[in-house]
Amino acid sequence: MTIHQNLIAGEWTGTTGAENINPSDTNEVVGLYASASVQDVTDAIAAAKAAFPAWSRSGILERHTILKKAGEEILARKEELGALLAREEGKTLPEAIGETIRAAQIFEFFAGEALRLSGEVLPSVRPNIGVEITREPLGVIGIITPWNFPIAIPAWKIAPALCYGNTIVFKPADLVPGCSWAIVDILHRAGLPKGVMNLVMGKGSVVGQAMLDSPVLSGITFTGSVGTGKRVALSSVEHGRKYQLEMGGKNPMVVLDDADLTVAVEAAANSAFFSTGQRCTASSRLIVTEGIHDKFVAALTEKLKTLNVDNALKSGTHIGPVVDAKQLKTDTDYIEIGRQEGAKLAFGGELVSRDTPGFYLQPTLFTEATNQMRISREEIFGPVASVIRVRDYDEALAVANDTPFGLSSGIATTSLKHATHFKRNAEAGMVMVNLPTAGVDFHVPFGGRKGSSFGPREQGKYAAEFFTTVKTAYTLA
């Protein structure tokens, strides 16, 4: 099997690697991908540093053209890349193609932003002096991405980094190297100069740690677990570099008595169980007022009965497999914890067998949960949700905010008063009204509060806050 190599200083390199296994069919090897060494990471960082002076001063039309070419190729290959994504991560094919289209849109957006780079010219408070305020690229950026969005998250970090003139050392999650390799290959062929983009695949304990240990990186943008995020922060403080963290979530979906039941059930099912619940924006806490509680649980249970768990590539599949055996064990362990804590297992919770061997788990719904249970406090990152019964809107808001996380928060209601109040008072970076908590646009800021995020927002024009540094220059006329 041909090995997909790392890209270092413009050259493809690597002779040994690891197999990329399809979670829908564990007999299938999606591909063989190189494993970088500590020396490879050192070389990649050195290459990015050497390429930075020229790339940081490159013309905006050059950056625009490269990013536009990348976006166009990703879009043209959406079915192929979507199938690759579904095979390596387990998203259903429609979800995977949708994510691929989003990646293309992100590159096209930042291609446009490259032509809109701007600053300010202001008068000084002192006579005959002019003031210019500009944004300049930060430097060499370390990018570390997770497995759950293997093409969209790399896109929304790589595209702005390049748009603003930074060079990159990129480590994708070792479970899903395929889509990341494809993006890097596309950018390489689109004309990126040598050393501007460097790909180092492999284990976090080797590749990621070597990046954290480097004093050369000017910034690290990371999406992943809370524990690893803390390590990124500590190492960055030690080396005095900028860092950006997107981590966990325990997102609430509030359902009020006046909610449209159909809208509420569709939003909750999408939020909690689609993409196999493997989204940091997923709703795993369904906070329901007592007047609609029983109707909502009954309707949601009926909805879950219609969802087909099967191979991600198979037509008619609503929920694909869990990403790997480790995550499946985490999910089943938490299901047992929920039972032991006294929550009622209202639906699912069982492993299922299909035509191909894979990590298949029924969507799982607990009722009679409290907000103090572990299944309500800790991120499970699987198709497991808990219904928490509350008296009224005030208690629902209090329970929604009673979490160490603060990424996304949703409410289902027909009350303008409650919707307006919730948008203002929900302690989250993103708020959804009568919509799933998962599902965001590519041109607006993404990020959370509390333990979910640290640093500037991602996506849209707000990405400039992380990937650039501000300079103020004074000139005597």
Longest dimension (CA), the chain: 79
Query: 3-class secondary structure for 173-238?
Result: CCCCHHHHHHHHHHHHHHCCCCCCEEECCCCHHHHHHHHHHCCCCCEEEEECCHHHHHHHHHHHHH
* Single-letter amino acid code for the residue at 109: F
CB 51 within 8 Å of CB 194: yes
Select which of 73, 89, 246, 266 is catalytic. 246
What is the token pair recorded at 253? 């979906």
Residue 106 near residue 155, CB atoms below 8 Å = yes
Through-space distance between the first and last CA atoms of the chain, rounded to whole angstroms: 66
Residue with tokens 């790589």: 158
13's tokens: 């390199």
Yes or no: say if 147 and 276 are a contact pair by the CB < 8 Å rule: no
Cα separation values, 307 from 91, 169, 213, 240, 315, Å? 14, 40, 45, 49, 13
| Beta strands at 197-199 and 430-433: parallel, antiparallel or unpaired | unpaired
- For residue 218, CA distances in Å to 6, 140, 180, 187, 430 come to 22, 5, 22, 22, 28
Concerning whether 246 is annotated as a catalytic residue, the answer is yes
**Catalytic annotation, residues:** 246
